């Protein structure tokens, strides 16, 4: 049997502010290839290009990656504001429908940062555009210089910044073999109200939701608020997550292959 295929959602982007492209950070692709041991296949986060039915006939799993754009607040009944732009409405259309469909069909799905937020919204939850503005919360955005520019050193940007307390005997605690982990933090938006089937599995010290699973999902359906794709070749926590996702994808691929034989 060939390597399983994992679809990775793309993000709207403009080269030289003129040419429309879809992009995916290479860290996501390398984590899938090297740690999940699968073939990464980028697909467009645009409903006029990507047909979900056709996509799920090709891939064995889905990764909803992080992205700069916020999920549009109209999906959870809140008015948009220019201060919280950019948005990526096209990706929203694909990701929200895809998250629900993957869970319904038992297709393994792993949400990272924006991906976790999309999974929450797909199941009826809401988001807050700036977690740091809530009482008692810390700044979860990436480190910046005094000038306001993003810190130029990726090692600083993606360094572990805060603890996450996992639910005792929960899916993450079982998978990772511990109840407290330390993670990086590069987000402004975060979960406000969890969706109906969204089970909180990990919470930061300030109360920010950092890890979720979808209740009664027939397959792997986990999301993390941190960027697990950055260093799974070195970080044992992130490696365990991608290895478990890869194992679930291979199991699904074997099942589908057997049914087709």
101 assigned to active site:
no
d(CA 255, CA 74): 38
Active-site choice (113, 128, 140, 187): 113
Measured from the Cβ of residue 83, the count of other Cβ atoms closer than 10 Å reads 7
d(CA 233, CA 239): 6
Q: Where are the alpha helices (DSSP H) in the chain?
A: 26-34, 52-56, 89-105, 114-122, 154-157, 171-176, 236-260
pLDDT at 1: 54
Backbone φ and ψ for 34, nearest 5 degrees, come out as: -90, -30
Topology (CATH level 3) of domain 5-129+187-260: Rossmann fold (3.40.50)
Beta strands 61-64 and 109-112 are parallel
Say if residue 119 is exposed, middle or buried (CB neighbours under 10 Å; 0-12, 13-18, 19+): buried
102 assigned to active site:
no
Asked if residue 180 has a cis previous peptide bond (ω within 30° of 0), the answer is no
Structural tokens at position 109: 């799905």
DSSP string spanning 53-98? HHHHTT-SEEEE---SSBPPGGGGT----GGG--B-HHHHHHHHHH
d(CA 126, CA 117): 8
Q: Where are the alpha helices (DSSP H) in 143-235?
A: 154-157, 171-176
pLDDT tens string 162-176: 999 999 999 999 999
Average pLDDT of the segment spanning 111-122: 98
pLDDT at 196: 94
How high is the mean pLDDT of the chain? Answer: 93
pLDDT band at 148 (very low <50, low <70, confident <90, very high): confident
Q: What SS3 class is residue 165?
A: strand
Say which residue the tokens 């993000």 belong to.
11
Domain boundaries along the sequence of the chain: 5-129+187-260
pLDDT band at 81 (very low <50, low <70, confident <90, very high): confident
From the list 174, 184, 179, the residue with the least C-alpha distance to 225 is 184
pLDDT band at 261 (very low <50, low <70, confident <90, very high): low
pLDDT band at 118 (very low <50, low <70, confident <90, very high): very high
pLDDT at 80: 84
210 assigned to active site:
no
């Amino acid at each position: 049997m060939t390597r399983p295929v994992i679809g990775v959602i793309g993000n709207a982007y403009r080269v030289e502010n003129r040419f429309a492209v879809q992009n995916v950070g290479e860290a996501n692709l390398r984590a899938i290839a090297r740690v999940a041991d699968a073939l990464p296949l980028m697909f467009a986060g645009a409903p006029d290009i990507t047909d979900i039915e056709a996509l799920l006939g090709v891939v064995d799993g889905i990764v909803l990656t992080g992205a700069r754009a916020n999920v549009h607040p109209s999906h959870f009944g809140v008015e948009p504001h220019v201060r919280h732009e950019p948005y990526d409405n096209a990706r929203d259309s694909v990701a929200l429908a895809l998250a629900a469909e993957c869970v319904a069909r038992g297709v393994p799905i792993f949400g990272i940062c924006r991906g976790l937020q999309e999974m929450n919204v797909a199941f009826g939850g809401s988001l807050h555009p700036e977690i740091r503005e809530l009482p008692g919360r810390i700044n979860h955005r990436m480190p910046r210089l005094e000038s306001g520019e993003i810190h130029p050193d990726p090692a600083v940007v993606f360094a572990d910044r805060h603890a996450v307390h996992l639910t005792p005997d929960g899916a993450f605690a079982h998978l990772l073999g511990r109840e407290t982990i330390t993670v990086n933090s590069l987000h402004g938006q975060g979960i406000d109200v969890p969706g109906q089937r969204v089970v909180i599995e990990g919470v930061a010290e300030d109360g920010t939701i950092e890890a979720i699973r979808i209740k009664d999902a027939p397959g792997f359906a986990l999301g993390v608020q941190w960027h697990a794709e950055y260093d799974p070749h070195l970080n044992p926590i992130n490696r365990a997550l991608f290895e478990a996702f890869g194992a679930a994808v291979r199991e699904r691929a074997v099942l589908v292959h057997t049914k087709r034989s």
